[in-house]
Amino acid sequence: MKLSPADLMGLEQYARERAAFRARVLEHKRARQLAVGPNATWSFEDRLTVQYQVQEMLRIERVFEPEGIAEELAAYNPLIPDGSNWKVTLLIEFTDPEERRVQLALLRGIETRCWVAVAGHARVFAIADEDLPRENAEKTSAVHFLRFELSAAMRAALKAGAQLAVGVDHEHYRHAVDPVPATVRAALAADLT
């Protein structure tokens, strides 16, 4: 379910409750993040993680006008999964700036080579960056937004306890998590209808 203005705290309330809310969200995110190899982190978004992002943007930008709130919701609501899919923020992480520059050039196209696989089913590759392109002729971005659409059979298998694997199959970056840890798999299965 998408967020509405009624789901958000005003700036004053958020200032009072931010520390407790942030701690709750960070704990929640722990079961929704995976390191896929040494340089890629997948963060599986849901309504709570997106609410946190919106609240933080409103706070940072000091937005309290209804039009500004509506703009933030329009930008972030598409990151909430709808029960048949997962939405993932992919972070490509290299600490050294020169290595990052070289690797982001080599990793063009990585966002479409990310996959999930439910045991007994074919891999599902990501639909990437539906909001705007995040790659150019020279390099890819360090941040991508991915969507994985799962069939009814895949969703049922996961809800029944099937194993899950995720990975990246790019010529310059091949890594997988197989199987996904039980706590993460359970959190992701709960997102599905």
pLDDT value, residue 28: 97
Give the Cα separation of 132 and 4 in Å (integer): 23
Q: Report yes or no: 123 and 154 within 8 Å, Cβ to Cβ.
A: no
Q: Where are the domains of the chain?
A: 1-30+47-80, 34-45+82-193
pLDDT tens track, the chain, 193 positions:
899 999 999 999 999 999 999 999 999 999 999 999 999 999 999 999 999 999 999 999 999 999 999 999 999 999 999 999 999 999 999 999 999 999 999 999 999 999 999 999 999 999 998 887 888 889 999 999 999 999 999 999 999 999 999 999 999 999 999 999 999 999 999 999 9
Nearest to 25 by CA among 54, 58, 48: 48
pLDDT value, residue 136: 87
Q: Report yes or no: 112 and 122 within 8 Å, Cβ to Cβ.
A: no
Q: What is the dihedral of CA 59, 50, 76, 110, to 10 degrees?
A: 120
**What six digits make up the tokens of 80?**
């909430």
**What six digits make up the tokens of 20?**
């407790």
> How far, CA to CA in Å, does 14 sit from each of 49, 92, 152?
15, 30, 38
Single-letter amino acid, residue 80 = I
Query: For the segment 8-17, what is each residue's pLDDT rounded down to a tens digit?
Result: 999 999 999 9
Residue 176's H or E segment, with its range, is strand 173-177
Query: What global pTM score does this model have?
Result: 0.93
Q: Report yes or no: 173 and 107 within 8 Å, Cβ to Cβ.
A: yes
Give the Cα separation of 139 and 127 in Å (integer): 19
CATH class of 34-45+82-193: mainly beta
Cis peptide bond N-terminal to 179, omega within 30? yes
The angle, 0 to 180 degrees and rounded to 10, between the axes of the packed helices 11-30 and 47-61 is: 140
